[in-house]
Amino acid sequence: MGLTPASAAPAPWRFWALCGALFCLLGAACPALAGAALSGASPPPGAVTEVMERPFPLLVPLSYRWARGAAWMSALITGAPALEAGARRGLADAGLADRGGLLALSARLHSIGHLTPDDSPELAVAVRLAPAPDMPQALAGALREAELLALLRALLLDMESTLLAVRRSWPATLAEARKHAPELDAASQRLEALWRGAMAAREAPGGWMCAPEALPALERAVRGAPDNAALWLLLAEARLQGDLPQGAVTAAGEALGLLAGAAHPADARLEARARYVRGLGHWRLGQPALAEADLDAALRDAPPESAPQGAELTRRLRARGAVRLLRRNAAGMCEDFAAACALGDCEGLAAARARGHCRGGADGVDGTGTMP
C-alpha cells in the first residue's frame, strides 16, 4: 500500500520527499479557505492546521470523507516529529522506522483540536492537530506502545492508499459518478471505516488498544473495510471487554486470516497480538488447551523487532501462566510467573505462592507444588 512497498524503511530525507509527493497527489491545502473553515479561539502553540477542498463534482458523503482524510493525513505529515537518535533507534527496534511508523507516531503525539463537521456548508474541510502538552514524555510513552503504533500504521497506510486511489479515479461529471456509483460508495464506506478505527485506536486501561465504548463504531467499521486486519483486531479487543468472548475469538480469527504470512515486522507484531487476544477469548470460553496454543504462539520466538516487550510481554506471560494453572502444568505456570516477576510484575507469582506453589529452589520456582 502507499507510494512505496510497506517493507521499505526510507532515510529521513527520503521520508520527507515521499511526504511531499503524497501532499501533491492529494491536492494542496488552500490557505485562503482556512479562515472560513476554522472557527473558535486561536490555536495553541505548535498546533498544525491543514485545509482541503472537497473535490467536485460534490459527492455526498464521499467528498467530505476524502477531504477530511486528506487534511488529517497532511497534518500528520506536517506534524511528524524530528526524532533524535535515541527515538529513531527505538522506532527501528520495533520495526516501525518507515513512513507508516512515523505517521503512526505523529498520530499518537497529536490530538484533533478542530474538525470541520460533515454537516458544515463549507466547501473545505479543516483539521487542526494539537501537540501533546509534554512532548518528550508523550514521545517516550508512545515508543513503548509498539503494538498500538503497529495498528495505527496499518490503518494509516490503508487510508493513504484509499485516498490516492479515490483522487486518481474521481469522476469528471455527475453522469460518470452515477455510472460508477457502487465503486464510489465502497470507497466512501472504506474511508469512514478507517477513520472510525483510527479514532478508536488509543491506549485504554488494562493494556487494551481501544475502549469498550468503541464497540458499536467498530462493528460498523469492519463492514466498510472487511479486509483490514487492524479493524478486526480492534473489534476483537472491544468485544472481549464487552464480555463477548465468542465474538472476540471470531474477530481475532478474521484478523489472523488476513495477517497470515505477514512479512513486515509491524504486521507480524499485530499477528502475535491477535493470537494473544484470541487466547484470552478461548480462556474465557473454558477452552484452556486452545488458549494455551494461542498464547504459546503469541510468545513464540520472533524477530527482535516483532517480539513483545515490557508490559505487553508481562501480560502475555501472566495470561499463559494462569492458563497453565488450569491445565495442571505447575512447572510451566511457575516459569511464566517468575519471568513476569523478573520484568517487574510479581502479582501472579505472589498469588501462586499464596496457594502453596512456586516455593522451591533458589529462585523460588520448582513447579513441584501439588495442583488443586
pLDDT tens by residue, 11-30: 333 333 444 445 444 544 44
Question: What's the rounded mean pLDDT across residues 222-235?
Answer: 98
CB 266 within 8 A of CB 150: yes
SS3 282: helix
What are the tens digits of pLDDT across the range 123-132? 999 999 999 9
Question: In whole angstroms, how far apart are CA 74 and each of 49, 55, 268, 366?
Answer: 9, 16, 27, 56
What is the rounded average pLDDT of the residues 167-196?
A: 97
> Which of 189, 174, 181, 178 lies closest to 69, judged by CA?
189
Distance, in Å, from the CA atom of 356 to the CA atom of 317, rounded to the nearest integer, reads: 20
C-alpha cell of 306?
516483532
CA-wise closest residue to 280 among 308, 244, 325? 244
Strands (E), 200-244: none
- Spatial neighbors of 209 by CB under 8 A, at least 6 apart, are 147, 148, 151, 201, 202, 203, 233, 234, 237
Query: Cα 104 to chain center, whole Å?
Result: 8
Per the CB < 8 A criterion, the answer to whether 93 and 305 are in contact is yes
Q: Is 310 helix (H, G, I), strand (E, B) or coil?
A: helix
Mean pLDDT of 52-56: 96
Confidence check: pLDDT of 353 > 60: yes
Q: Give me the DSSP letters along 290-303.
A: HHHHHHHHHHS---
Residue 365: pLDDT band with limits 50, 70, 90? very low
Local structure of residue 134 (DSSP, 8 states): S
Report residue 152 CA to chain centroid gap.
3
- The C-alpha atoms of residue 299 and residue 162 are separated, in whole angstroms, by 33
Among 329, 313, 250, residue whose Cα is nearest residue 282: 250
Which residue reads 491477535 in cell numbers? 274
Which pLDDT score is estimated for 306? 72
Amino acid at position 168, single letter? R
pLDDT of residue 84: 84
Examine the pLDDT at 6 and tell me if it is beyond 90.
Answer: no
**Partners of 175 in the β-ladder:** none
Q: What is the pLDDT of residues 279-296, one digit of tens each?
A: 999 999 999 999 999 999
pLDDT of residue 301: 62
Query: From CA 346, how far away is CA 28, in angstroms rounded?
Result: 53
Q: What is the pTM of this model?
A: 0.86
Task: Report the distance separating Cα 343 and Cα 337, nearest Å.
Answer: 10
Q: Are 346 and 323 in contact (CB under 8 A)?
A: no
> How many CA atoms within 13 Å lie on the side-chain side of 113?
22
